[in-house]
């Protein structure tokens, strides 16, 4: 069974164990019921921030949803360069979770690599706060109706309740650190 399908099965099992309806969970994570049902059926295109919201709702570590293994550390975790738990969710995006062994995180840090693309960014919304810091290349952040071009060293801190998305702004992959907090 592939990794994405396993995530779908885990979120369905958590919902059933906690005795929530699909409608209740969809409302809590801010999607329509059919979209949520698709997440449980296939896991396809489930946003990483939705997985984060589900982990907080079910009071489990995000790594438990992504990998089936719960985080255990509560003092510190070192993640060496180029490492991190792979958490890919969208074509053209590579996510590496940098706190996958740390239990009960208040924020979730990821290194995200974007492939070059002419397609506009897919826009999402979620609760909490978000921070992006460009490490390599150019990242174009779409925030509502604005496109903000960020170069290496630039950052943005924003309210993700507004439609937003990121895309690579050049011909080579772009990498940024993102932190999501609820």
Domains belonging to the chain, first-starting first, are: 3-46 (no CATH), 85-181 (2.60.120.10)
pLDDT at 111: 95
Q: Give how far Cα 28 sits from Cα of 50, 53, 84, 116, 167, Å.
A: 10, 8, 28, 33, 27
Q: Which two tokens stand for residue 63?
A: 């790594």
DSSP state of 46: -
Tokens 């396809």 label which residue?
Answer: 44
N-to-C CA span, the chain: 31
Which tens digit of pLDDT belongs to each residue from 54-66? 998 998 988 889 8
Pairwise CA distance, residues 151 & 114, whole Å? 13
pLDDT at 76: 87
At 90 the pLDDT is: 66
- Say whether 168 sits in a helix, a strand or coil: strand
The pLDDT value given to residue 58: 92
User: Which residues is 113 bridged to in the sheet?
Assistant: 94, 175
Low-confidence ranges of the chain (pLDDT < 70): 1, 88-91
Question: The whole model's pTM is what?
Answer: 0.81
CB 58 within 8 A of CB 23: no
Q: To the nearest whole number, what is the mean pLDDT of the chain?
A: 90
């Amino acid at each position: 069974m592939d990794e994405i399908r396993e995530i779908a099965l885990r979120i369905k099992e958590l919902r059933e164990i906690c005795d929530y309806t699909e409608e209740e969970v969809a409302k809590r994570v801010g999607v329509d019921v059919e979209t949520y049902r698709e997440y449980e059926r296939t896991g396809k295109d489930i946003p990483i921030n939705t997985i984060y919201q589900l982990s907080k709702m079910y009071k489990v570590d995000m790594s438990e949803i992504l990998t089936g293994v719960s985080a255990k550390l509560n003092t510190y975790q070192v993640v060496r360069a180029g490492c991190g738990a792979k958490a890919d969710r969208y074509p053209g995006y590579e996510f590496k979770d940098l706190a996958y062994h740390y239990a009960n995180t208040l924020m979730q840090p990821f290194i995200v690599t974007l492939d070059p693309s002419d397609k506009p960014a897919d826009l999402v919304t979620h609760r909490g706060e978000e921070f992006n810091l460009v490490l390599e290349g150019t990242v174009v952040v779409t925030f509502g109706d604005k496109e903000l071009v960020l170069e290496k060293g630039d950052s943005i801190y924003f309210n993700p309740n507004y439609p937003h998305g990121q895309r690579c702004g050049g011909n080579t992959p772009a990498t940024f650190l993102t932190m999501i907090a609820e």
